[in-house]
Amino acid sequence: MRVTVSVPGKVTLLGEHAVVYGKPALVSAINRRVYITVEGRDDSNIKIFSNDIKLQGLSLKLNGEMSSFEFETWEKKSQILEPLRYILKALEVAAQHYGKKIGANIMVRSEMPIGAGLGTSAAISVGTVAAYSALLGHEMNLNEVARMGHATEVAVQGIASPMDTAITTFGGTLYIKPEGTKPFIERIDVPCDFTSVLGYTQREETTSQILRRVKAAKDQNPKVVELIMDAIGLLVEEARSCIKKGDPKSFGDLMNINHGLLDSLGVSTRALNEMVYASRSAGALGSKLTGAGGGGCMIALCPDRAKEVSLAIKLAGGVPFEVSLSSPGLRVEPPS
Amino acid sequence: MRVTVSVPGKVTLLGEHAVVYGKPALVSAINRRVYITVEGRDDSNIKIFSNDIKLQGLSLKLNGEMSSFEFETWEKKSQILEPLRYILKALEVAAQHYGKKIGANIMVRSEMPIGAGLGTSAAISVGTVAAYSALLGHEMNLNEVARMGHATEVAVQGIASPMDTAITTFGGTLYIKPEGTKPFIERIDVPCDFTSVLGYTQREETTSQILRRVKAAKDQNPKVVELIMDAIGLLVEEARSCIKKGDPKSFGDLMNINHGLLDSLGVSTRALNEMVYASRSAGALGSKLTGAGGGGCMIALCPDRAKEVSLAIKLAGGVPFEVSLSSPGLRVEPPS
């Protein structure tokens, strides 16, 4: 038996970082996907393949106890190990949930850079859980898959917001407000064209380094940083209305404000700023870094100017790619 | 009789824009000065000379009624007219105050760019009032001079904060909090090295255009922008303590936060951001745009790295100049 599922990447439209401190955020699934194929084996081994840009040449073989690793290439071991941890943990979580474990070949392919703030770790976790569940003979229940995907992220990272696994499972655009252990999630229809261009640049810091730095800034200037978080929370509320009203222009203005506030938290970089400002010069309605910052991605909302903004991002030294928002969530792909 | 006075330029350390909405600001006099010389004439005419970079080739002759202008060069007329308006108005204000008017030659020289947010219009106003008062035979009273300097700015601009004329008259470093018509002003001792480098880039917008834009942003998203203004006000209070404690490191962190908040108000530019981030990479403790924004100047606090930061600003396309803060205010120069 062989099952292929695909899961979208996500982009944080507004509210990253502040969401860690209880403020709402807006996230949207993009039309770049991770494809996970699982295939039964005659033995109880796990073998993982990938021919992704970032995972190129990966071929990992595990024996039934998942205790020994065989890499075909050792060159990119640290880059490879990161996504691997999510795959292995997702298999474990699903196997445990169903009380059943079988051998499998697992193929991973990503249409977007890994570790760029586009939710690829959540997508890999959710996709692996879903495909392996199907291989084990279980119907895919989206709520269950999202929960297991989140459990996978928590197990690997120690702590994880359920935001990424939720958006990647359900797709669309979500307004998410942390409330105790269970966040309030509202699905939002996007009634008009929110075509955007993402610009990618190398990460200079890891997400956990950046999260620590924001925490340190908050400890050093608690009142000032709290006001900044409040401002971000408030602009997310305003932006939610802008989407509902179909007002991308005002939404863009709020993106610009949000970028400055993220800059004030110390999470922007010269390269991100370059792309953000170049996009505005090229006619974007708004632009900001997206995700944790410290490099990674920025997003420019530019329904009528995608070509010009892509060029501007390229000239500013980034890698542009056009995306549609509110893309579908987890789905089973037809057999190839 | 011939009198030469000099007046320092100023830099806003923190709090620009928010000060327009009632928040406190920190300003400091820099060691770049405007020199104004007045010299009695046998007739009642006014003649103004300047050999400044920006005012090069200016030579203006007025008849006793100040009704006709003679320019030696017409090329830079609009650039020349701007500072001229302050000189002429300052003469009028002083003449009216003392009920006396005599002819004079007036020579102006500036050690810093005019119209770059360094308070040159206030310096020219205050310097002209002071020197002309002396020519009229009146002792210079600093409070009176500051008041007349402010009246000059109000008459020319329609509206003016008394901040620039206060700092340029009294020198040093001032904490200024608008309170009704009379601001609360506190002189602050700077107990340690706050050597900074300024970076200058061409203005892309005028101050009044930028002020209108911030006003429009506030009208569009009142609650969000109010929180941003609150955050700026609060960080100015924190920064006042940092200066008093002699803690330039924490002060630098607050400058970085303030820059992001100014960016969120839409007053930064790509060129300013470039210099701001380049300075940080070169070891500045903190950096931000200073003044109205839309081009103009940025400031990097870098007591131990002035050479490196100057180079970084130059490489980022700006014109760097090192300044000391808390410089002396208005003073009479010895006869040359």
Digit-coded pLDDT (tens) for A26-48: 999 999 999 999 999 888 888 88
Taking a contact as any Cβ pair under 8 Å apart, which residues of chain A between 232 and 251 contact chain B? Answer: 234-235, 238, 250
Q: What mean pLDDT do residues B35-48 have?
A: 88
Residues of B in contact with A228 (CB under 8 A): 227-228, 231, 257, 261
Which of B127 and B64 is assigned the larger pLDDT?
A: B127
Find where tokens 């909405």 sit.
B21
pLDDT of residue A59: 47
Comparing CA positions, the residue from B257, B189, B253 lying closest to residue B15 is B257
Residue B81 — very low, low, confident or very high, per pLDDT cuts 50/70/90?
A: low
Sequence length of chain A is 336
Facing A253 at nearest CB: one of B220, B261, B263: B220
Residues 6+ apart with CB under 8 A from B60: B46, B47, B48, B49, B69, B70, B71, B80, B84
Comparing CA positions, the residue from A270, A199, A204 lying closest to residue B274 is A270
**Rounded to the nearest 5°, which phi and psi values hold at A256?**
-60, -45
B256 contacts A261? CB cut-off 8 A: no
Tell me the CA distances in angstroms from B116 to B10, B19, B198, B298, B300, one per residue in order.
11, 18, 11, 10, 16
Taking a contact as any Cβ pair under 8 Å apart, which residues of chain B between 254 and 283 contact chain A? Answer: 254, 256-266, 268-270, 273-274, 277-278, 281
Facing A264 at nearest CB: one of B257, B274, B278: B257
A268 contacts B270? CB cut-off 8 A: no
Most confident of A36-45, B71-80, B131-140, B227-236: B227-236
pLDDT of residue B56: 40
Comparing CA positions, the residue from B284, B331, B276, B273 lying closest to residue B307 is B284
A266 contacts B228? CB cut-off 8 A: no
Nearest CA in chain A to B255: A264
Rounded to whole angstroms, how far apart are CA atoms B165 and B145?
Answer: 9
B183: distance to nearest CA of chain A, Å? 23
Q: Which uninterrupted H or E stretch holds A299?
A: strand A296-301
**Rounded to the nearest 5°, which phi and psi values hold at B235?**
-70, -25
Comparing CA positions, the residue from B90, B6, B25, B109 lying closest to residue B291 is B25
Question: Quick check: B285 and B249 in contact, CB under 8 A?
Answer: yes
Rounded to whole angstroms, how far apart are CA atoms B299 and B291?
Answer: 10
Tokens matching residue B92:
């009028």
Rounded to whole angstroms, how far apart are CA atoms B215 and B201?
Answer: 24
Domain with CATH 3.30.70.890 in chain B: 196-323
pLDDT of residue A40: 92
Residues 6+ apart with CB under 8 A from B325: B11, B13, B28, B29, B30, B173, B190, B194, B195, B196
DSSP designation for B179: -
> What's the start-to-end Cα distance of chain A, in Å?
13
A17: distance to nearest CA of chain B, Å? 15
Chain centroid to Cα B201, Å, comes to 16
Domain B196-323 has CATH 3.30.70.890: yes
Helices (H), chain B: 77-98, 120-135, 142-157, 163-170, 207-220, 222-245, 248-264, 270-281, 306-315
Tokens matching residue A223:
């009142």
Q: Report the topology of domain B2-188.
A: Ribosomal Protein S5; domain 2 (3.30.230)
Sign of CA dihedral B230, B231, B236, B240: positive
Residue B67 — very low, low, confident or very high, per pLDDT cuts 50/70/90?
A: very low
B273 contacts A264? CB cut-off 8 A: no
pLDDT of residue B79: 54
B266 contacts A261? CB cut-off 8 A: no
Catalytic residue set of A: 164
DSSP designation for B66: S
Rounded to whole angstroms, how far apart are CA atoms A36 and A129?
Answer: 10
Residues of A in contact with B230 (CB under 8 A): 227
Residue spans of chain A under pLDDT 70: 51-81
Report pLDDT digits (tens) over B82-104.
Answer: 778 899 899 999 999 999 989 89
Facing A224 at nearest CB: one of B234, B273, B281: B234
Which of A167 and B73 is assigned the larger pLDDT?
A: A167
Nearest CA in chain B to A231: B224
Domain with CATH 3.30.230.10 in chain B: 2-188
Which of B269 and B47 is assigned the larger pLDDT?
A: B269
pTM of the full structure: 0.88
B228 contacts A230? CB cut-off 8 A: no
DSSP designation for A17: T
Nearest CA in chain B to A232: B224
- Contact B216/A at CB under 8 A: no
**Rounded to the nearest 5°, which phi and psi values hold at A186?**
-125, 130
A40: distance to nearest CA of chain B, Å? 52
Encode burial over B73-109: b for 16+ CB neighbours within 10 A, e otherwise: eeeeeeebebbbbbbbbbbbbbbebeeebbbbbbbbb
